[in-house]
Amino acid sequence: DDESGQAAFDAVIAADSRIEPRDWMPEDYRRTLIRQISQHAHSEIIGMQPEGNWITRAPSLKRKAILLAKVQDEAGHGLYLYSAAQTLGITRDEMTRQLIDGKAKYSSIFNYPTPTWADMGAIGWLVDGAAICNQVPLCRASYGPYARAMVRICKEESFHQRQGFEILLTLMQGTDAQREMAQESVDRWYWPALMMFGPPDDESPNSARSMAWKIKRFSNDELRQRFVGMLVPQAEALGVSLPDPTLRWNAQEERYDMSEIDWTEFHEILAGRGPMNAVRIQNRRNAHEDGAWVREAAVAYARRQALKAER
Ligand code: ACO
């Protein structure tokens, strides 16, 4: 019953153990996980587009092979995450429907355009860097299927982050025009990457409960601080500057002082009014519609196999 279920659930959380799909769990815990995991899955799938934009124009065969592999990894991440969400009782069809109807959230970061090759570097370094920072603690999330998916995803993300860093490093060792292109791209991606961690702690409605349930282990602002701390020495190694003139280490408070994030821009994007929101959803909807024949064929094939097995 609910009472003994709740007690067992509380004990698992207190012991830092894992909740598994067949275990009793509070309805709100289930809903929160479906929300977060499906948003995460959608982010991976929509996240294929900004980089997919450069596959046919990568500057060399090697760069093209790497980028292709990376975008395929993102598809894989989306699929593990949809599977993890399905263990909670939502179907893949429902999640896809929410996404292509424009009702589901996905990460704000994927609503920006990728006009230059340097954007492939900045996305790897900054966007995948932020993703790792946010996702490493999720490897210890209390829901088993999510935590286990995160382990594999984080390994692949760290390859993605290095390949981005290496693209920027190559550009920074190139011509003046290449250095400018790298810096211009870092200038565009820095603030949106900081927004990936979500609203400030005092405006994050889900944080307290998700932390009590040990889905989240650190707050949005804590992770944002940790990320900036990672970036500072890496920016120095690259020779790029971070576009925040007030950024400096505050030894007394043991944290970075930084300029205020433009939360209006963040809220505009969440409301669907970012530069690329409409394009991203339209592309996803088209891909889904174009793939209808594959789904129909798969169902017909499965039906025929089942009939054969009966005979
Ligand atoms: N982009 C879009 N929506 C966001 C973002 C963002 N960067 N940050 C927060 N939000 C949304 C939340 O989803 C929530 O919306 P909802 O309540 O309607 O679902 C709302 O803003 C308020 O935020 P929080 O209360 O802070 O929400 P939450 O506790 O879920 O924290 C966070 C947000 C940190 C993004 C969390 O959901 C998380 O860690 N998710 C998993 C990681 C992830 O999704 N990464 C995707 C990008 S990385 C990549 O794919 C390469």
Indicate whether 43 pLDDT > 90.
yes
- For 201-257, how does the pLDDT look when each residue is reduced to its tens digit (9 = 90+)? 999 999 999 999 999 999 999 999 999 999 999 999 999 999 999 999 999 999 999
pLDDT of residue 2: 87
Contact 35 CB / ligand 1 (< 6 Å) = yes
Across residues 281-293, what is the average pLDDT? 97
Q: Above 90 in pLDDT, residue 90?
A: yes
Distance 107 CA to ligand 1 centre (A): 7
Q: Is the pLDDT of residue 31 over 90?
A: yes
Supply the mean pLDDT for the chain.
97
Confidence category of residue 16, pLDDT binned at 50, 70, 90: very high
The per-residue pLDDT for 173 is 98
Our mutation pick for probing the ligand 1 site, out of 77, 80, 107, 263, counting the most ligand atoms within 8 A of Cβ, is: 107
Q: Which among 29, 35, 36, 135 is the best mutation to test ligand 1's pocket, defined by most ligand atoms within 8 Å of the CB?
A: 36
What number is the average pLDDT over the span 190-201?
98
- How sure is the predictor about 311, in pLDDT bands with cuts at 50, 70 and 90? confident
Question: What percent of the chain is modeled with pLDDT above 70?
Answer: 100
pLDDT of residue 298: 97
- Give the distance (Å) from ligand 1 centre to CA of residue 287: 25
Distance 33 CA to ligand 1 centre (A): 12
C-alpha span between 49 and 69 (Å, rounded) = 14
On the question of pLDDT at 86 being above 90, the answer is yes
Share of the chain above pLDDT 90, in %: 98
